[in-house]
Structure 1
Amino acid sequence: MPEPDIATGLIVLTDATCVIKGRSYAGIPTIVWKDGIDEDASDWFRDLVVRDGLATSSVEEYANILRPFLRLCRARKRNWKTVDDDFLLIWRGELHRGRGVAIPRVNTSMDVIFNFYRWAEETRRIRYHVGIYADDEMPTHVREHGFAITAKRTFRKTRHGRVFASWSTKLRLAGGNQSSRLRHTPSEEETRRAHELVAEQPLGERDALMFSWAEEVGTRRAEMLQIRKSHMPTPEQLEQLVERGEELCIELKRKGGKMKPLYASPDLIIRTIDFIEVGRAEIVNACRAKIFDYREPDEVFISTRTGLVLHRDSVTSIGAKAFEGAGIKNANIHRLRARKAVEVVETLVEAVFSGEMIGSETSWIETILTIAAERMGHMSPESLRPYLNYVLRRRIEKSDANAVAKLKAKRRQLEAHVGTLARRLSQHAELHRASRMIAESRTNEAVLALRRIADELALTA
């Protein structure tokens, strides 16, 4: 495997020795060029984690998006502080037309780059370069000449009625908004095929167990890779969980960087403990034999190559190969989490319709979305609304009332069609009678018959 070229920019992650204000921060990205550390970009990443509380996995993705843009600046000898809308449009065209990047991904890139420049403006690394000012906040000369990077003000209203103002880029491509339609969520049969395929691989025990954590608990990659041996219950605690029919609560750092609970069934915990004692133990022993001074990590899902916790990209690759091999398109291990989201929402909807969650002052839609968001570790309950819509549509499709309505509609259409055919036959019969009258020289009667037919045709026209 070729060594990475530092000229194109390396992304290096901090380890646990990075201590800021007395707290250890591992996983903060830093961009390194041939001429040294990119201090401005790296300071932004640090602020996102330390000041704003973003998850390091999200900030690493920001680094992956910002780096190629800064690489273009360097290739064209353009100081990033002098970039304007025209240069940003060049980057947008390079992504969309030059590299064939889809509109949603292009817009994500434009958003991240704009947020970097907004941060630089707010921290006074650049001044009056980005249009994030109201008219009364700008000096006269700025108001006359405008900004190099324009912005538009947006407003967001929370479910509690509070309104927040923010700034966003004007340079997003149109047509990239995602609809509320769900992406493909694997069916039960498709999921079983993927499970069977991955279980047959050399590391099938580990990988199938990861699939189960995603499907049955709803873990994201970063959350799954935080699961530790020390999270597992003692035999006595496990026995109590089984007797009470309760789930094990595990506190993990979830999306947004906050510690939140997730819940795993005793059956899944039993499988996990078994893997730790057998399959994982084999990986650990192999690593001890080949890696000098190897120290076993606490994380459950580890690599056979390094003996350390798996990388998120490895989890994605394992899932992609399994679903592709099972003939399932547009799906990955993250879509197993979507199955769990549907299951959670469906359970809550069932509780509503059975009367368990309806009260005189209860908005059942808001209640479902809020509880489901807490369970799935979503930052915003609104992100689960597509799943609620999907469940409600499916419930309506299967309901008795809907079946009756469909039968009534079908009957109406059949009756209307029968009436049309009857009228057609009637007209043919009248025409036949009129032709006989003409043949028998009963002209006056034929004229009257033809006039009736003409009147009927006029009424139905």
Structure 2
Amino acid sequence: MSRQRRPCRLVYTDERFVHAKRSYPGIPLLVDGDEHFVDPVCDYLRARIVYGSLNTSSARTYAEHILHFWNHLQARGLPYDEINDEVLLEWLNAQADASDTTRGARCDAVFDLYVWLESEGYVHRMVRIPGVNDDEPFRPQLSSRPAKANSFRRNSSKLGIVSALRPKQTATLPLPTPDTDDIGRLHAAVDTAPNLDVADRNHLLLDWYLQVGVRRMEWRSLTLAQIPPLEVIDAASARLHAIEIPLTTTKGGRPRHVGALPELLERTREYIEGPRQQLVDRFRAKLGKAYREPDEVFLSNKTGGPMEPKAISNLLNTLFEQAKVQGHGHRLRATYLTRLFEAELMLEQARITAHPGSKQLVDFELVLRRVAERAGHRHIDSLRPYLTLARKRLARQPGTEQLLTVQQLLDAKLAELAHTEALLRVRKEELDEDIANSRHQST
């Protein structure tokens, strides 16, 4: 009997992997069923990160797609350098449970791998690449077609081609952007948590998303050193100023600054000195010297360590379900972006009103660039829908240089009011139910 080979798996480099005096932890590496590194794939992923400036989170996604394909090859007993369109199509058709978007992303990852392998000489005459081997007479094993500009891929192939077998994308309706009432219901859902300390942390999660526009990893990676002391927060509050917080763990590894309201930072500081400190004390008493207090601000109530990204997503998804709000946690950034555009437009219009001779029309490209820099977006085209929405919603009115902070304060107070109203509705429903039960029991 032939031995059943174990499936392929991914392992990751640690800080000991160093290139040009720089450490690269977290690079995914593919290991086959015989516990051997798959060198062509490992070389590809290392090259994309070290020389192509690909961030490790994106590389991990690509590696998971490649892993899916490699397990298909291993199950079929096929060598990687002898596949063709028939094999690729068979693999894509076997993914009936996946959406067209997912299948397209998987197809891109595998095809881009083979384009790189062809260009670097790992395989020969498998893909026809413009400017590399398109002058050679051969029939490629993997067919391609030109990649359309601004199409389904945010990062289209640098060589201008995609797989000819790539599934066509079906048009999907954009997810809704949570409004003030939705946010109030989300905060009310947080209040249903039996542990008040966890509720404090989860309220802060929502508000850091909504008021500052952080991403999941950015929120998770906030450290104690990044939260200013109370005297700095009080001074900024007296001047009606937001405080610039430097973010170092960001999408794409590009450091940026974000503006946080003093009230939000004060509540974060209170969480650090209250519920967080109690959590740390509990785990120190439980684990002794085996427990090391993390540098991160927000901790898991179950482990005492930083919250895992998947746990954050699951928490937000649960809150959206409980609050009966459409969408998912990342849509909170859409709310932030919409508000940020409105504030930037108000500020630009105020400048025009104050200095009518120097400028007559709003420079929308400048507004786009400002918001992109503030929100940590490399490509401004992905933000144009938010600009269009803000232009439609915003009433033209003059303002001051502090409009950005005033708008943040207004949004925060509106969210607080909606939270209170949603909580009152929940309490009223509970009271009505108690009254009805009491009447039923008395009869």
Query: Normalising by structure 2, what TM-score?
Result: 0.78
Deviations 1:332-376 (A, max 9, x none): 221111100000111123334445399659772211211111111
User: Where in structure 2 are the equivalents of 1:165-184 lying within 5 Å?
Assistant: 166-176=160-170, 182-184=174-176
Q: Which residue in 2 is equivalent to 1:207?
A: 202
Task: Specify the SS of the correspondent of 2:324.
Answer: coil
CA distance in 1, matches of 2:306, 2:132: 52
Q: Which residue in 2 is equivalent to 1:223?
A: 218
The one-letter code of the counterpart of 1:379 is R
Picking from 284, 287, 304, the partner of 2:283 is 287
User: Where in structure 2 are the equivalents of 1:393-432 lying within 5 Å?
Assistant: 393-395=392-394
Q: Which residue in 2 is equivalent to 1:24?
A: 23
- 4+ aligned runs moved over 6 Å, structure 1: none
CA distance in 1, matches of 2:15, 2:23: 6
CA distance in 1, matches of 2:107, 2:270: 46
CA distance in 2, matches of 1:19, 1:102: 38
CA distance in 2, matches of 1:6, 1:271: 54
Task: Specify the SS of the correspondent of 1:35.
Answer: coil
The 8 Å contact of residues 251 and 260 in structure 1, kept in 2 or not, is answered as: yes
Are residue 266 (structure 1) and residue 267 (structure 2) matched?
Answer: no
Percent identity over the alignment is 27
Are residue 319 (structure 1) and residue 319 (structure 2) matched?
Answer: no
The one-letter code of the counterpart of 1:205 is D
Q: Which residue in 2 is equivalent to 1:66?
A: 66
User: Where in structure 2 are the equivalents of 1:44-443 lying within 5 Å?
Assistant: 44-95=44-95, 98-99=96-97, 101-134=98-131, 137-139=134-136, 143=137, 145-154=138-147, 166-176=160-170, 182-201=174-193, 202=195, 203-249=198-244, 250-291=246-287, 293-329=290-326, 331-354=327-350, 356=352, 364-395=363-394
Label 1:303 to 1:29 Cα distance change in 2 as closer, same or farther (>3 A). Answer: farther
Q: Which residue in 2 is equivalent to 1:448?
A: none
CA distance in 1, matches of 2:48, 2:362: 35
1:112 to partner: Cα distance: 1.5
Label 1:27 to 1:246 Cα distance change in 2 as closer, same or farther (>3 A). Answer: farther
CA distance in 1, matches of 2:29, 2:282: 33
CA distance in 2, matches of 1:286, 1:199: 23
- How many residues get paired? 378
Using the TM superposition, name which of 80-89 and 30-39 deviates more. Answer: 30-39
The 8 Å contact of residues 242 and 266 in structure 1, kept in 2 or not, is answered as: yes
CA distance in 1, matches of 2:360, 2:88: 50
1:289 to partner: Cα distance: 3.0
The one-letter code of the counterpart of 1:38 is V
The one-letter code of the counterpart of 1:226 is S
Structure 1 alignment gaps of length 5 or more: 158-163, 400-461
The one-letter code of the counterpart of 2:42 is S
Label 1:224 to 1:237 Cα distance change in 2 as closer, same or farther (>3 A). Answer: same
Deviations 1:112-146 (A, max 9, x none): 1111112222222112211213487533xxx2x32
Using the TM superposition, name which of 17-26 and 341-350 deviates more. Answer: 17-26
Q: Which residue in 2 is equivalent to 1:9?
A: 8
Label 1:26 to 1:136 Cα distance change in 2 as closer, same or farther (>3 A). Answer: closer
Deviations 1:275-333 (A, max 9, x none): 1111111222232233352211111122233332221111100000110111123x222
CA distance in 1, matches of 2:159, 2:30: 31
Q: Which residue in 2 is equivalent to 1:429?
A: none
1:31 to partner: Cα distance: 2.9
CA distance in 1, matches of 2:240, 2:227: 17
Using the TM superposition, name which of 122-131 and 314-323 deviates more. Answer: 122-131
CA distance in 1, matches of 2:316, 2:71: 31
CA distance in 2, matches of 1:150, 1:283: 57
The 8 Å contact of residues 12 and 29 in structure 1, kept in 2 or not, is answered as: yes
Please tell me the root mean square deviation across aligned C-alpha atoms, in Å: 2.8
Structure 2 alignment gaps of length 5 or more: 151-157, 398-443
CA distance in 1, matches of 2:166, 2:212: 36
Deviations 1:198-250 (A, max 9, x none): 23323222222111111111111111111100111133332332233222222
Label 1:267 to 1:155 Cα distance change in 2 as closer, same or farther (>3 A). Answer: same
Task: Specify the SS of the correspondent of 1:262.
Answer: strand
Q: Which residue in 2 is equivalent to 1:438?
A: none
Deviations 1:405-429 (A, max 9, x none): xxxxxxxxxxxxxxxxxxxxxxxxx
1:186 to partner: Cα distance: 1.2
Using the TM superposition, name which of 288-297 and 265-274 deviates more. Answer: 288-297
CA distance in 2, matches of 1:273, 1:12: 37
